[in-house]
Amino acid sequence: MIRIGNCSGFYGDRISAVAEMLDGGELDYLTGDYLAELTMLILGRDRMKSPDLGYAKTFLRQMENSMGAALDKGVKIVVNAGGLNPAGLAQALRDLSGKLGVEARIAHVDGDDLIDRAAELGLGAPLTANAYLGGFGIARALDAGADIVVTGRVTDASLVVGPATSHFGWQPTDLDRLAGSVVAGHIIECGAQATGGNYSFFEEIADMTRLGFPIAEIAADGSSVITKHPGTGGAVTVGTVTAQLLYEIQGPRYFGPDVTTRIDSIRLAQQGADRVEITGVRGEAPPPDLKVSLNHLAGFRNEMTMVFTGLDIEAKAALAQRQLEALLTDRPADLIFRLVRTDQPDAPTQEQASALLHCVAKDTDPNKVGRQFSSAVVELALASYPGFTMTAPPGNGAPFGVFEPGYVAADKVEHRVTLPDGSVEIIPPSPARATLDEIADSASPAPDDWGPTTRIPLGTIAGARSGDKGGNANIGVWVTSDGRYRWLEQALTDDEIRRMLPETKDLTIHRYPLPNLRAINFVIEGILGRGVADNVRFDPQAKGLGEWLRSRHIDVPDSLLAQ
């Protein structure tokens, strides 16, 4: 058994977590996930400013404080903080090692960056183009004695797959074992989301003040136990682990570069306090293609928000919109108005009596969304609706990008690992590759006669976790008993989702039951437009979409409430 901890779920996570995880108890490996779709865009803009940038700079700060402690404790560190420049980060770590007077063996994994070959590979002309690599390059670096391995765009779970593969000597054909480590990696990759963070039933957790980060204890057969250091906040329960399993997934097949993991095979069991056992995970061959993260500069945008107070809110907003459109002689390509009714009748405070009109301008010409747009809003100040005010002064527009996935044959990508001695090796793609279809959507079974019902919020008996995948969003909904799951599977149809979430009424919804988890996963196509950097939704990454669904009312059988 090996113990693999996590210290970061995103670029900006708790900077003290590295030290906390090293000081809090026994570990063999410490991993950190610093990359996301939006992060690659941010790092791409950094690289445009300087070719020496493009990695997560906060990781260097963490290592300045903790590199010596990790070496003293024999804890090996594996992170994807290299971003678009893993070689640069590796060199910076060598320099830091010398400055600190310690001998750290540094390796890095790259080859994921396809930007120079994007056109040749049919990927267009993006700002960034990075293939999602697997864990075998990390494993080779660890086999060669690396103390710290930094990577570019590997899959998040690969940070765990690599150490487990190295430790146990797994081969590419050990699909069930690899799939087990993918599940463990997916659970701990987002840090405290596995220990109670963003958890629907957070009030059940005794200590939410400062959550501990998760640990995966992985066995040679690929099974694992999710836990955390003793004395840390939060909790590890079947519920918290289920919630994280449902985060940003799609169908029952979870495709990856090393293995296709069957999410519908996972079995969870509470083994003890803060210990959840994961067994039964099955793996299938990985697909012949690698997914590629593509980010494009899409144009420029600006936003102004006007405040409306008291009576006649909609009439005031209509007046402001009409006046602004008349003032904009050089109209932006996209001019989007969104009225948010946060006001209450007979409100006890002015803020509670007010609503917001967000106006977003987007265009490929920065002049159309710059001062000519924001200053036009200001010009209405003394000539528009009563009580005119804004939330911010005028400003210039800013560039924005869009994410989209691409695909390229695995044998077209040179998965490279630079070992601590400076030698470079190429990791071949999995020999087990095969084309597997997505599992089809599932229709709801015919409803049973459940007897009397009460109309209450769905969240009274169900948890939910939601997130973004490009322009799509997923909502995983789960319950805590077999009876409740049987009702959920019958009641929560595609049409019921459209009723409960009216914004989805014209969108394609995919529905995937996961009986082992007592859960249903919904994938809603296009609800986020072209992704987080482009869309103007109130919640651009769909993080609160599941909680909105839980707040909506549905008829729940009284017999289930009695449980």
> What's the distance, CA 201 to chain centroid?
20
Q: How far is CA 25 from CA 3, 5, 20, 172, 338, in A?
A: 10, 10, 9, 32, 50
**CA–CA separation, 370 vs 373, rounded Å?**
6
Q: How is residue 248 written in tokens?
A: 């940003």
* pLDDT tens sequence for the chain (563 residues): 999 999 999 999 999 999 999 999 999 999 999 998 778 888 988 888 888 889 999 999 999 999 999 999 999 999 999 999 999 999 999 999 999 999 999 999 999 999 999 999 999 999 999 999 999 999 999 999 999 999 999 999 999 999 999 999 999 999 999 999 999 999 999 999 999 999 999 999 999 999 999 999 999 999 999 999 999 999 999 999 999 999 999 999 999 999 999 999 999 999 999 999 999 999 999 999 999 999 988 899 999 999 999 999 999 999 999 999 999 989 999 999 999 999 999 999 999 999 999 999 999 999 999 999 999 999 999 999 999 999 999 999 888 888 889 999 999 999 999 999 999 999 999 999 999 988 889 889 999 999 999 999 999 999 999 999 889 999 999 999 999 999 999 999 999 999 999 999 999 999 999 999 999 999 999 999 877 767 667 888 999 999 999 999 999 999 999 87
What is the secondary structure of 318-348 as a DSSP string?
HHHHHHHHHH-SS--SEEEEEEE----TT-S
Region for 280 from its dihedrals, namely left if φ exceeds 0, alpha if ψ lies in -120 to 50, beta otherwise: left
> 86-100 and 57-73 helices cross at what angle (nearest 10)?
50
Radius of gyration of the chain (CA): 25
How many Cα atoms within 13 Å fall on the side-chain side of residue 486?
A: 10
CB atoms within 10 A of CB 323: 17
> In sequence order, which ranges of 170-286 are alpha helices (DSSP H)?
175-188, 238-245
Who contacts 179 (Cβ-Cβ below 8 Å, separation ≥6)? 222, 259, 260, 261, 262, 265, 281, 282, 283, 284
CA distances from 268 to 251, 265, 441 (A): 19, 10, 24
Report residue 531 as tokens: 């992704």
Q: pLDDT tens digit string along 433-464? A: 999 988 889 889 999 999 999 999 999 999 99
How far from the centroid of its chain's Cα atoms is residue 25's Cα?
Answer: 27
Least Cα distance to 6 among 150, 142, 149, 190 occurs for 190
Which amino acid is residue 526, in one-letter code? G
Cα 371 to Cα 377: distance, rounded to the nearest angstrom: 10
Strands 275-279, 283-284: pairing is unpaired
DSSP SS3 for 300: strand
